[in-house]
């Protein structure tokens, strides 16, 4: 009998990345013999991304934004109608406290550790900690996007006398989105990129994601390497400060902000890149999170400047270009060394980090842990 899986997500994918795994694994799981459904908030971006990444066989169910109580009730009704064999909760948040039908196995994913976020205090901390502990008790299995989360939830489960199975499953990239191409820089954008050494960052423009560190590093680097150009793709609460520093320091030639970049535009900017930057901090929050863009960089086979922290270290090993966490001077130094070396390739097998590869790992594991048959 064909097993059924239902992914339950929350929010708009522009600001809540937890739906990425559901959309990324839907088509591969269908090819592995699953009947797949994905429950998503009804937003323009969610509909666009689902149409882009999911196949016709995936059942997409959209719900309108409600209060938390109404959202839980709506999702529970949808799941009851679908009656899957596996209910996959994309994040342990209140809005995803969905009732599982009888006989349905519940899998909860952890892709961050909100209880270790320095900005979470008081009652909010109690709330997120309660949800993290709830996931251990209520789940039949846990998926952890980082090795740090595997360790944390392993220790917590042990203390709670729970034997909840866990799977280490980092993020990945979608071959339907990432298609490296050859670009003639002398002909595109009126030759704007000709003769430049280009590094790209895609993600939230926030201080804790390294937006200001990158800005200051390029400021330090531009006098010795005037050809450097940093392309920042995304938005965030540090965007205005980044723009202010660019304007006041006269850095317009060296830092370019694109705003939000659609999936269709990613190939162009990523194919332009001579290198990518994936800033990290040596904090529990960054050890726990799995930067999804890191895996989107891999098929373009360019050096990645990052830190010896968490999944970048685990994924890149000795192939990464590492700077000291939070140190813009060291970031500038490492980028300068990279430019001077003339290195152009990363040299990692990107095929090991596709959603297809992740889905195959998940398929083997979940069939074993739940007893689902072929």
User: In which residue are the tokens 């989105």 written?
Assistant: 177
Mean pLDDT computed over 143-155: 96
What pLDDT score was predicted for residue 65? 86
pLDDT exceeds 70 at position 374: no
Least confident of 16-20, 154-158, 183-187: 16-20
Token pair, residue 234, equals 């995304």
Q: Burial of 284 by CB count in 10 Å (0-12 exposed, 13-18 middle, 19+ buried)?
A: middle
309 SS3 class: coil
What pLDDT score was predicted for residue 373? 52
What pLDDT score was predicted for residue 319? 97
pLDDT tens per residue, range 29-84 = 999 999 999 999 999 999 999 998 998 999 999 999 889 999 999 999 999 999 99
Mean pLDDT computed over 189-216: 95
Calpha distance 287→283 (Å, rounded): 6
Q: How far is CA 128 from CA 91, 275, 332, 354, in A?
A: 11, 36, 37, 30
CB 110 within 8 A of CB 141: no
- Confidence label for 341 from pLDDT (cuts 50, 70 and 90): very high
pLDDT tens per residue, range 111-134 = 999 888 877 888 888 998 998 998
Calpha distance 193→101 (Å, rounded): 55
- Confidence label for 358 from pLDDT (cuts 50, 70 and 90): very high
Calpha distance 213→217 (Å, rounded): 6
CB 199 within 8 A of CB 229: yes
pLDDT exceeds 80 at position 241: yes
**Residue 171 Cα to chain centre, angstroms:** 6
pLDDT tens per residue, range 302-339 = 999 999 999 999 999 999 999 999 999 999 999 999 99
What pLDDT score was predicted for residue 229? 98
CB 87 within 8 A of CB 6: yes
Mean pLDDT computed over 180-206: 94
- Confidence label for 207 from pLDDT (cuts 50, 70 and 90): very high
169 SS3 class: coil
Mean pLDDT computed over 168-190: 92
- 6: Cβ contacts below 8 Å, ≥ 6 apart: 36, 37, 38, 39, 79, 82, 84, 86, 87, 88
Calpha distance 103→120 (Å, rounded): 36
Token pair, residue 360, equals 């195959």
């Amino acid at each position: 009998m064909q097993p059924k899986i239902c992914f339950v997500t929350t929010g708009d994918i522009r600001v809540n990345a937890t739906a990425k795994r559901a959309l990324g694994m839907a088509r591969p799981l269908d090819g592995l013999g699953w009947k797949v459904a994905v429950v998503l908030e009804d937003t323009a971006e969610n509909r666009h991304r689902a149409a882009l990444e999911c196949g016709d066989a995936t059942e997409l169910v959209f719900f309108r934004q409600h209060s938390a109580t109404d959202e839980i009730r709506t999702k529970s009704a949808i799941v009851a109608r679908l009656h899957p064999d596996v209910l996959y909760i994309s994040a342990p948040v209140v809005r995803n406290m969905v009732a599982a039908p009888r006989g349905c196995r519940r899998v909860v994913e952890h892709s961050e550790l909100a209880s270790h976020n320095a900005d979470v205090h008081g009652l909010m901390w109690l709330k997120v900690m309660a949800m993290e502990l709830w996931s251990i008790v209520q789940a039949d299995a846990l998926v952890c996007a980082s090795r740090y989360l595997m360790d944390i939830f392993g220790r917590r489960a042990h203390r709670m006398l729970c034997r909840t199975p866990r799977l280490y499953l980092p993020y990945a990239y979608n071959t339907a989105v990432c298609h490296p191409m050859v670009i003639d820089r002398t002909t595109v954008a009126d030759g704007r990129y000709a003769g430049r050494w280009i590094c790209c960052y895609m993600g939230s423009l926030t201080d804790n994601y390294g937006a200001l560190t990158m800005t200051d590093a390029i400021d330090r680097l531009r006098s010795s390497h005037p050809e450097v150009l940093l392309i920042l793709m995304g938005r965030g609460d540090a965007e205005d400060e980044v723009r202010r520093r660019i304007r006041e320091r006269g850095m317009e030639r060296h830092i370019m902000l694109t705003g939000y970049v659609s999936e269709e535009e990613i190939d162009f900017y990523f194919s332009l890149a001579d290198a990518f930057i994936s800033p990290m901090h040596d904090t529990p929050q960054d050890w726990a999170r799995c930067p999804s863009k890191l895996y989107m960089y891999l098929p373009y086979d360019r050096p990645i400047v990052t830190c010896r922290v968490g999944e970048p270290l685990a994924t890149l090993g000795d192939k990464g270009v590492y700077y000291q966490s939070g140190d813009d001077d060291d970031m500038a130094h490492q980028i300068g060394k990279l430019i001077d070396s003339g290195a152009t390739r990363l040299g990692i097998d990107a095929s090991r980090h596709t959603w297809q590869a992740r889905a195959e790992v998940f398929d083997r594991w979940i069939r074993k842990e739940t007893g689902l048959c072929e």
